[in-house]
Amino acid sequence: MPRSNGTSPSISLALERHLAVNLFGTYGVTQAFLPLLTRSRGAIVNVLSVTAFAALPLIPAYSISKAAAFSLSQSLRALLAGRGMRVHAVLTGPVDTDMSRGLDIPKASPESVARAIFDGVEKGEEDIFPDPMSQSMAESWRSGAAKALERQYAALVEAKPVKTAA
Ligand SMILES: NC(=O)c1ccc[n+]([C@@H]2O[C@H](COP(=O)([O-])OP(=O)(O)OC[C@H]3O[C@@H](n4cnc5c(N)ncnc54)[C@H](OP(=O)(O)O)[C@@H]3O)[C@@H](O)[C@H]2O)c1
């Protein structure tokens, strides 16, 4: 993606595309599977990115879409907990796949990331940090002010259950 000042048509188009896939796509798939997931008391695992925490300005549209999908995951987590469903957010750092082929930085293997995601789900971790780069942020995120606020907001839903998700 070319660098831009954040207002050019190229970023606007890129933003629409990224939101279509990473936000509305995630929302649509979740809605489609909700009846099945409710019956099986299943889990939703949303593969996000550390760019949900801090935008990488080289890829603003991608970063915005991952932050939005993280926010969606937090809301769904609180709204669906009463139905016995768990929502996991995977805050992934660089992984050695086609997507990051052009980046000359240390990357985790896809196999190790996949394993860490399954481990995190098994351990019941709400937010999963599946690689060495993201793992370095795990403790400060879990004990930080933003996570505390998420829990505080979630308690409002527990106190007053709502019928519809998102
Ligand atoms: N690689 C990283 O460094 C990294 C870091 C953080 C987070 N992630 C996240 O990890 C997830 C997997 O990415 P990856 O690294 O495996 O990337 P990848 O190797 O480029 O694979 C992307 C996958 O998404 C599919 N896809 C792309 N656009 C789609 C669309 N419009 N509708 C349906 N499927 C679509 C592709 O399908 P086709 O093969 O059919 O094109 C492909 O299977 C993504 O959510 C990504 O944001 C990756």
Domain ranges of the chain: 9-155
| pLDDT, tens only, 98-147 | 999 999 999 999 999 999 999 999 999 999 999 999 999 999 999 999 99
Alpha helices in 47-144 (DSSP H): 60-81, 110-123, 132-142
Burial letters for 129-163: b for 16+ Cβ neighbours within 10 Å, e otherwise? bbbebbeebbeeeeeeeeeeebeeebeebeeeeee
Query: Does the reported pTM lie above 0.85?
Result: yes
pLDDT at residue 165 greater than cutoff 60: no
Residue 163 predicted with pLDDT over 70: no
Residue ranges around ligand 1 (CB below 6 Å): 21, 47, 49, 92, 94-95, 97-100
Task: Please say whether the beta carbons of 81 and 154 come within 8 A.
Answer: yes
Q: Which atom of ligand 1 is nearest to the CA of 25?
A: 32
The chain-wide mean pLDDT, for the chain, equals 92
Residues with catalytic function: 62
18-59 residue pLDDT tens = 999 999 999 999 999 999 999 999 999 999 999 999 999 999
In angstroms, rounded to a whole number, what is the distance separating the alpha carbons of residues 11 and 62?
A: 10
**Torsion of Cα atoms, 126 then 140 then 15 then 113, to 10°:** -60
**CB neighbourhood size of 44 (10 A):** 19
Query: What's the confidence (pLDDT) of residue 5?
Result: 53
Query: If pLDDT is split at 50, 70 and 90, which confidence band does 1 have?
Result: very low
- Is residue 161's pLDDT more than 70? no
* Residue nearest (by alpha carbon) to ligand 1 atom 1: 95
- Could you tell me if 133 and 106 are in contact, meaning their C-beta atoms sit under 8 angstroms apart? yes
Ligand 1 pocket test: pick from 19, 92, 137 the residue with the most ligand atoms within 8 Å of its Cβ.
92
Assign domain 9-155 to its CATH architecture. Answer: 3-Layer(aba) Sandwich (3.40)
pLDDT at 2: 38
